[in-house]
Amino acid sequence: MSSADRLTHLQRLEAESIHIIREVVAEFRKPVMLYSIGKDSSVMLHLARKAFAPGPLPFPLMHIDTTWKFREMIAFRDQTARDLGLDLLIHTNPDGLRDGVGPITHGSGVHTDVMKTQALKQALTRYGFDAAFGGARRDEEASRAKERVFSFRTATHQWDPRNQRPELWSIYNARIQTGESIRAFPLSNWTELDVWQYIHQEDIPVVPLYFAKPRPVIQHNGMWVMVDDDRLPIPEGAAPEMKSVRFRTLGCYPLTGAVASTATTVAEVVAEMLNSRTSERAGRAIDHDQAGSMELKKRDGYF
Amino acid sequence: MADDGRTFDAAATEAVLSGKAAERDLLRFLTCGSVDDGKSTLIGRVLYDSKLIFEDQLKTLERDSKARGNAGGALDLSLLVDGLQAEREQGITIDVAWRHFTTDRRKFIVADTPGHEQYTRNMATGASNADLAVLLVDARKGVLVQTRRHATIARLMGLRHVVVAINKMDLVGYDRATYEAIRDDFVAFAREIDLPEPVCIPVSALMGDNVVNRGDGMPWYDGPALLPFLEEVDVVQTSTQTPFRLPVQWVNRPNLDFRGYCGTLASGRVRPGDRIVVNPSGRETTVARVVDFNGDRAEAIAGESITLTLADEVDVARGDLLSPADARPQVADQMAAHIIWMGEDPMLPERSYLLKIGHTTVPAQITEIKYRLDVNTHSKLAAKHLDLNEVAFCNLSLARPVPFDPYEENRGTGGFILIDRTTHQTVGCGMISFGLRRASNIHWQALEVDKAARAHQKHQKPCVLWFTGLSGAGKSTVANLVEKRLMAMGHHSYLLDGDNVRHGLNRDLGFTAEDRVENVRRVAEVSSLFVDAGLIVLVSFISPFRAERRLAREKVAAGEFLEVFVDAPLEVCEQRDVKGLYKKARAGEIKNFTGIDSDYEPPEAPELHLRTDQAEPDELADQVIQALRARGLLRE
């Protein structure tokens, strides 16, 4: 059999993701794509553009802005929206804003709950979206490994891992009652390496923070944290150091640990990753709060 | 992810990104076996010996092994694979979990499914997307009932490659005769059920023999170890060799100049200029362009998600199936299929479900259970309904014809799911064996005197007034009064009463859930005939299930069906107890009595809601008449 009869793993993953994205658009009344600005979102956005070419995206993107994202992320977000002519919605939890909720004053648990989980629920309810695309991958974390591609949520956005619909072949059950919704995960079967290989193959732009550069960092909660603005408290006598660092994942800057690195290209990033000895989410503060913490957050509506 | 001795330099990385490693293909496999066959340990061993465990994961593993491992404080590799908290607490895998790993040769996605009989549905789910199954057998126990069950499900789901990992060889002293006896036993069973020739590998997941490395326990074994076999096995989809099939998923019309038909090729290949047919309409046309994000392509093959444009302006919609003109799918509204039931509530013949095949969703009923398949013994049994995890060979009837292929010939166009119309749960899956020609042989006799003519003669508009509610709620009382008023106004009507019909037409039916469904189905058919005769039909039936009332509604045209919910609290009905039935039911003399030991599902959006505990029957009958009048169904 000739090799033309065989798809590479990236071709197969790409085709499956496009299939999922088209199915959601065909079956749901009002879909939205949750855009978190990270590399997975960049890949998901690229796949969606492929799914509907030569037409435009038939849904808006939405960013839940906690007000604590890296400034470079926000600049990249706005640039991407302009370049691609995207319909981008931005939502910040007004209650959290009023109460001044932040990761430094309130801790990562409260901050994530109020500014991400609650904010997301508010936004979904406010716009009446019945399907929301997310860039989560099953290889990220144990509870995600069991998530369905079409993940069913009650009218109050709850997830019940014991009551998930079986998913057979690529036939997705899209039936919901009024008020209920689904989260759809087109990247379910991708790994971190697949994502980088695909970014390389397709030349997809990503936030420059993924590549190493001398950046001002200090030790904070046992991580190297970048001093992105003056809201980060600098302890008496300490001063930010300039270190060549990059980020494996991107979130709120005080909660995202930098890794020492000299990788300035996708190839170098992948080389470091292949040689690395820690898994991707180890740099995220929120997964370590307690055992099974991601599962608890997800039941409550976290992406 | 490097192993201990190796580091990736720029050149090696370049190879990963652009070279041979980027050409890696994907193998999806399923692991099955019971809780103590060592399935999680086997996968853990594959990951561990392939150096695919990160340092932080290893630290967690060491900590967890001491805290709750089953390896006496040593590394318990099964903990690498266990997922949700709930199952950790129970110590069993409750669902399908997906694992990923990549070697130099291939990327692997593993569906890890539990072994208990009550998880047949999970195994079927995992198998539906797998290229291959790894079936675990405990060398001390040999081929068990559950081994046969897993093999049977693998066969049903159409897996073409089965590997039997005969595990725990260390516990039988790596004995060759033990391995051979189990192998021969399994191969014989595989032939019996027509499963493709299995590959049997003796392994010890605990010690690592024949998992990734050969180990030194079994020098007598000259076959491959498990992982090297999985890296080599040729599962290139025969789907590129099967005829072209494109289920149309979405019609892309960004502007007046472009009209594209999007979908994922289920099989075959397609090029511009190919002569194709739109099914089920049967219209022929030619492929003009094969398009993707980057522009025009010379060809697309099975598995790719692409867009086609056509040479002619033929009518194509989501749900249609494109095929070559000379290799068409079957089109039928009746078919025979294997069904695996996945719902908590039993499957009842004649109940209406939604069937989704490809991108079409149609109402469908199982008209007959030909036999139930005992997945443990492979024997065929009689059945009146199907419970969770049961498998049966059934006849189905669909509301309209759909295009399909037999599942054996094409996994992409021969499988379907069944959806409960009320809860929207996925309650079953099916693999089509063949279409039934019955429907096409019974032609509809077109009659010259039609419904409109008959209704016109009676100077009225026919409709169904469907009174539903608990026994003793007052259905017959109100229905009677309504019919008397209609009679006085000169209308032609007929009242179908639950009790009366059971004396004649339905006297062969009892009160089980199956019989209740059939009871209502027959009355729905009769009321639809009476509507066709031009009558105003009053139906007074408990009709406890929403699904059957919906079926009755669908039997007549829109606007011809009024659901009248005759509502009174159970306590009130029980107090009235006109026929003394509640007393008997409470005493256990009557089984399956609605409201006592059988459910009543109240209507969600009835056209009329009558509260008989709050108003007199005469007032309520007037309300019904007013509702008919407001809808223009009565003569002025």
Chain A residues whose CB is inside 8 A of the B55 CB are 277-278
Confidence of residue B35 (pLDDT cuts 50, 70, 90): low
Chain A, nearest residue to B85 by Cα: A292
Asked if pLDDT for residue A303 goes beyond 80, the answer is no
Is residue B264 within 8 Å of B272, Cβ to Cβ? no
Q: Between B168 and B18, where is the model more confident? A: B168
Supply the pLDDT for residue A142: 65
Which of the residue ranges A10-14, A284-288, B59-63, B595-599 has the most confident prediction, judged by mean pLDDT?
Answer: A10-14
Q: What is the ipTM of this complex?
A: 0.90
Confidence of residue B18 (pLDDT cuts 50, 70, 90): low
Determine the residue type at A224: W
Q: What is the mean pLDDT of residues B507-516?
A: 85
- Residue A1, CA distances (Å) to A82, B237, B238, B265 in order: 45, 10, 10, 19
What percent of chain A is modeled with pLDDT above 90?
68
Q: Checking DSSP bridges between strand A131-133 and strand A181-184, what pairing results, if any?
A: parallel
Supply the pLDDT for residue B2: 36
Supply the pLDDT for residue B115: 61
Asked if pLDDT for residue B375 goes beyond 60, the answer is yes
Look at residues A153, A156, A150 and name the one whose alpha carbon lies nearest to residue A133.
A150
Burial of B382 per CB tally in 10 Å (0-12, 13-18, 19+) = exposed
> Where do the DSSP E strands lie in B405-546?
415-419, 426-435, 463-468, 493-497, 536-540
Judgement on whether residues A174 and A213 belong to the same structural domain of the protein:
no
B468 is in which domain, residue-wise?
Answer: 451-630
Judgement on whether residues B213 and B265 belong to the same structural domain of the protein:
no
Supply the pLDDT for residue B5: 37
- Residue B623, CA distances (Å) to B34, B277, B478, B485, B534 in order: 61, 54, 10, 12, 23
Q: Does A3 map to a domain?
A: no
Judgement on whether residues B577 and B461 belong to the same structural domain of the protein:
yes
Q: How far is A143 from chain B (nearest CA, A)?
A: 5
Q: Which residues contact B346 (CB under 8 A, 6 or more apart)?
A: B385, B386, B387, B388, B513
Q: Does A290 touch chain B (CB under 8 A)?
A: no
Supply the pLDDT for residue A280: 55
The catalytic residues of B are: 543
User: Given an 8 Å threshold on Cβ–Cβ distance, is B426 in contact with A169?
Assistant: no
B569-615 residue pLDDT tens: 999 999 988 888 898 888 888 888 888 888 899 998 899 999 999 99
Asked if pLDDT for residue A240 goes beyond 80, the answer is yes
Tokens standing for B301? 């093959």
Q: What is the mean pLDDT of residues B554-559?
A: 87
Judgement on whether residues B202 and B266 belong to the same structural domain of the protein:
no
Q: How far is B499 from chain A (nearest CA, A)?
A: 35
B471 among annotated binding-site residues: yes
User: Given an 8 Å threshold on Cβ–Cβ distance, is B356 in contact with A171?
Assistant: yes
Q: Does B1 touch chain A (CB under 8 A)?
A: yes
Chain B residues whose CB is inside 8 A of the A59 CB are none
Asked if pLDDT for residue B91 goes beyond 50, the answer is no
A36-95 residue pLDDT tens: 999 999 999 999 999 999 999 999 999 999 999 999 999 999 999 999 999 999 999 999
Chain A, nearest residue to B360 by Cα: A171
The residue among B401, B436, B471 that closes a domain is: B436
Chain A, nearest residue to B131 by Cα: A169
Supply the pLDDT for residue B19: 58
Whole-number Å distance between alpha carbons of A295 and A301: 10
Determine the residue type at B383: A
Judgement on whether residues B26 and B166 belong to the same structural domain of the protein:
yes
Q: What is the mean pLDDT of residues B152-180?
A: 94
Judgement on whether residues A189 and A237 belong to the same structural domain of the protein:
no
A158-193 residue pLDDT tens: 887 777 888 999 999 999 988 889 999 999 999 888
The residue among B384, B406, B436 that closes a domain is: B436
Q: Does B445 map to a domain?
A: no
Is residue B460 within 8 Å of B635, Cβ to Cβ? yes
Min mean pLDDT across A11-25, A137-151, B205-219, B253-267 is at: A137-151
Q: What is the mean pLDDT of residues A116-133?
A: 94
Give the A:B interface size as CB pairs under 8 Å: 208
The residue among B276, B308, B324 that closes a domain is: B324
Asked if pLDDT for residue B358 goes beyond 80, the answer is yes
Judgement on whether residues A167 and A23 belong to the same structural domain of the protein:
yes
Q: What is the mean pLDDT of residues B397-406?
A: 93
Judgement on whether residues B399 and B465 belong to the same structural domain of the protein:
no
Judgement on whether residues A180 and A226 belong to the same structural domain of the protein:
no
Judgement on whether residues A38 and A107 belong to the same structural domain of the protein:
yes
Q: Which of 217-256 (A) contact B at CB < 8 A?
A: none
Q: How far is B338 from chain A (nearest CA, A)?
A: 14
Judgement on whether residues B410 and B513 belong to the same structural domain of the protein:
no
What percent of chain A is modeled with pLDDT above 70?
88
Chain A residues whose CB is inside 8 A of the B10 CB are 267-268, 271
Judgement on whether residues B501 and B377 belong to the same structural domain of the protein:
no
Is residue B430 within 8 Å of B364, Cβ to Cβ? no
Asked if pLDDT for residue B389 goes beyond 70, the answer is yes
Asked if pLDDT for residue B94 goes beyond 70, the answer is no
Asked if pLDDT for residue B55 goes beyond 80, the answer is no
Mean residue pLDDT across chain B: 87
Q: Does A296 map to a domain?
A: no
Q: Does B425 touch chain A (CB under 8 A)?
A: yes
Judgement on whether residues A139 and A249 belong to the same structural domain of the protein:
no
Supply the pLDDT for residue B516: 84
Judgement on whether residues A217 and A136 belong to the same structural domain of the protein:
no
Judgement on whether residues A41 and A177 belong to the same structural domain of the protein:
yes
Q: Does B220 touch chain A (CB under 8 A)?
A: no
Chain B residues whose CB is inside 8 A of the A268 CB are 10, 13
Supply the pLDDT for residue B3: 37
Is residue B230 within 8 Å of B108, Cβ to Cβ? yes
Supply the pLDDT for residue B462: 93
Q: Between B558 and B536, where is the model more confident? A: B536
Confidence of residue B443 (pLDDT cuts 50, 70, 90): very low
Q: CATH number for the domain including B72?
A: 3.40.50.300
Q: Which residues contact A209 (CB under 8 A, 6 or more apart)?
A: A70, A72, A73, A246, A247, A250
Supply the pLDDT for residue A2: 41
* Radius of gyration (C-alpha) of chain B in whole angstroms: 31
Supply the pLDDT for residue A291: 42
The residue among A172, A195, A218 that closes a domain is: A195
Q: CATH number for the domain including B335?
A: 2.40.30.10
Confidence of residue B445 (pLDDT cuts 50, 70, 90): low
Q: What is the mean pLDDT of residues B269-288?
A: 94
Q: Does A300 map to a domain?
A: no
Min mean pLDDT across A153-162, A235-244, B495-504 is at: A153-162
Min mean pLDDT across A103-112, B85-94, B176-185, B538-547 is at: B85-94
A187-211 residue pLDDT tens: 999 988 899 999 999 999 999 999 9
Judgement on whether residues B613 and B469 belong to the same structural domain of the protein:
yes
Q: What is the mean pLDDT of residues B382-399?
A: 93
Judgement on whether residues A185 and A97 belong to the same structural domain of the protein:
yes
Judgement on whether residues B512 and B393 belong to the same structural domain of the protein:
no
Residue B408 bridge partners (DSSP) = none
Asked if pLDDT for residue B57 goes beyond 80, the answer is no
Q: Between B59 and B559, where is the model more confident? A: B559
The number of folded domains in chain A is 2
Q: Does A147 touch chain B (CB under 8 A)?
A: no
- Residue B447, CA distances (Å) to A140, B441, B450, B451, B556 in order: 64, 18, 6, 10, 18
B201-228 residue pLDDT tens: 999 998 899 999 998 899 999 999 999 9
Mean residue pLDDT across chain A: 88
Q: Which residues contact B111 (CB under 8 A, 6 or more apart)?
A: B28, B29, B30, B31, B96, B97, B98, B125, B126, B127, B129, B130
Determine the residue type at B382: A
Chain B, nearest residue to A18 by Cα: B305
Is residue A258 within 8 Å of A224, Cβ to Cβ? yes
User: Given an 8 Å threshold on Cβ–Cβ distance, is B26 in contact with A13?
Assistant: yes
Whole-number Å distance between alpha carbons of B231 and B235: 10
Judgement on whether residues B547 and B456 belong to the same structural domain of the protein:
yes
Residue B616 CB: number of other CB atoms within 10 A?
Answer: 9
Q: CATH number for the domain including A85?
A: 3.40.50.620
Judgement on whether residues A17 and A45 belong to the same structural domain of the protein:
yes
Judgement on whether residues B228 and B335 belong to the same structural domain of the protein:
no
A277 is in which domain, residue-wise?
Answer: 208-288
Whole-number Å distance between alpha carbons of B366 and B394: 7
Chain B residues whose CB is inside 8 A of the A25 CB are 250
The number of folded domains in chain B is 4
- Residue A40, CA distances (Å) to A35, A250, B261 in order: 9, 10, 28
Judgement on whether residues B320 and B358 belong to the same structural domain of the protein:
no
